[in-house]
Structure 1
């Protein structure tokens, strides 16, 4: 049994090697390159591929895998929004993901970034750079005084809710699919509009689908409280960045913590030192004292990376051996 793992980073290698020792019957080859129309040819002779990338998986990639007799593709992440479902079905691909690798990693990071927003740490760091050690005028806010609107109450959203409750914040939530325990607590509101009206903080923990793209647009921001804080550690296109910039300009949004961006593949996980990059919204947002942009690192912990690598390899092995997996994605 042979698996080719694409896009493997140095920090993933120890966990891949650990899994290999535990599964000596499987030969795993790791390459740092992403799977593309060109590199997919390296998969000839393998039984499955293990992948992770933010770039799209082209239809040609699936077409070529099919021609090589490979139908087992395991993602080391959750999202499948960069795959064409029609191509997946046309070429009979079995796709697995890692739906739960560490909800705490992302939830904890999103709360930490909100705390940085509320306590205005970016502004203080910049003052320190100027040898200015005065408190004023950067008076901050307390988390226990906020109404936190959590959109999406899956694994990550539930962990975030527990953390916020631990700080003493009032939590409200919206999700099309209610968690029975949260429903007992009376946390759910009936609509996004109701959540927008009540929340002083809005944090996103939902997948990207066509119907959720730009869910936070001008119309949504207009319904929110003045001075609301926005946190997004889910998917960049959930927010219309132009509308967010306008809302920041007007003061409707007091601050934003963004671990994901609409066009993040232009910048994230790249060394662009000394290079120009055409992404005006990125420059606008990162230049602001009240906006925190991080390069899609909410997931990036030792626990999460280990689980992403080893769960995906185990899922690929299951596909090869049995033709199915408990992590099979339905398209």
Structure 2
């Protein structure tokens, strides 16, 4: 009996070997082949955030029943070149590099790895929370300036009087969205003594007795010293956080966004920071739009380059989740994360 053929396509973020280790550990009854990062991306309107040339992927994928990937482009043309393809496994929560509609139209199933980076994002969120509460961004800039200009640093305990902050146990943290990441943030924050409330119109308050779920977004902002955004971005919630929400916050409150940039109106955020209404913000930037030059100049801002999910454990977890899905597919069992 001929074994199923599986192609693994690695990229510069998630290499093929990471997939291979997880697939070998499952002992899959299949012939598994791997290829590394592909040629530079070309512009394809139906998909985004991909790495590789669709024409090259189309040549590679021919003859395989299953393809496992992270960022390789799977377009309608690629699918047309893969007559034997039955499953696309994408190691991402949102498979934006896969034309799902085209796959469904051709009878090709698509599965993903939702929540693979939830622990990593939750960890960074707590790091941002502590950093903002204790005025770390502004104080680090002061240290950097002193070192560069040759001035004395840390003369005495009294220098700390400039940087009085808040403790976790006296803070109310408001979470926008209460999905996988937010629930892990909630667990970590509550373990440190922080009071947590959340806004999520898709969550039944009775199902999450550990926290209070508020009915209105503005109410969440008004009642929180720190607000952290964890909603999944859609066209309907673009710019859901703006001047009205920042205005509802108390003077000196703090803001965190480790979700998508499109959820926040950065111009409104910039104005809230420069006016002094917001005491600080932390953003894991992941979109090109926005007044970034002006934002990065703010001393009370933490800005990181989309590293929230960038951990070795995230990669391993994603590969293991995908290997499990492929194993189930080959056995004829139900897929847990099919799109």
Q: TM-score range by the shorter chain?
A: 0.7 to 0.9
Q: Cα distance 1:231–1:7, how it changes in 2: closer, same or farther (>3 A)? A: farther
- Normalising by structure 1, report the TM-score: 0.82
Aligned: 1:29 with 2:54: no
Question: Secondary structure at 1:296's aligned position in 2?
Answer: coil
State the match for 1:283 in structure 2.
293
Structure 2 residue 318 is matched with structure 1 residue 308:
yes
**Partner residue, 1:50:** 68
TM alignment of 1:111-130, pairs within 5 A: 111-129=126-144, 130=146
Structure 2 distance, partners of 1:291, 1:108, is 18
1:203 aligns to what?
228
Shift of 1:322: 3.1
Structure 2: runs of 5+ lacking an equivalent? 39-50, 148-152
Q: Does 1:299 align with 2:309?
A: yes
TM-score where L is the length of structure 2: 0.80
Which fold has the larger relative contact order, with Cα–Cα distance below 8 Å and residues 6 or more apart in sequence? 1
RMSD: 2.8
2:122 paired residue among 77, 94, 107: 107
Q: Which runs of 5+ in 1 are unaligned?
A: 264-278
Matched residue SS, 2:214: coil
Distance 2:209 2:7 in 1: 46
- Largest Rg, 1 or 2: 2
Q: What's the offset of the Cα at 1:108?
A: 1.5
Q: CA deviation at 1:325?
A: 1.4
Match of 2:43 in 1: none
Q: How many residues align?
A: 310
The answer to whether the Cα contact below 8 Å between 1:248 and 1:254 also exists between their aligned partners in 2 is yes
Judged with a 3 Å threshold, the aligned counterparts in structure 2 of structure 1 residues 82 and 25 are, in CA distance, closer, same or farther, namely: closer
Residue in 2 that maps onto 1:270: none
Instruction: State the Cα distance separating 1:51 from its structure 2 match.
Output: 2.5
Q: Retained in 1: the 8 A contact 2:8–2:16?
A: no
SS in 1 for 2:54: coil
Judged with a 3 Å threshold, the aligned counterparts in structure 2 of structure 1 residues 98 and 135 are, in CA distance, closer, same or farther, namely same
Aligned to 2:270: 245
Match of 2:46 in 1: none
Distance 2:297 2:103 in 1: 40
Q: SS where residue 304 of structure 1 aligns? A: helix
**Superposition map of 1:148-163 within 5 A:** 148-163=173-188
Deviation string 1:82-101 (CA, Å, 9 cap, x unpaired) is: 65654454344422111232
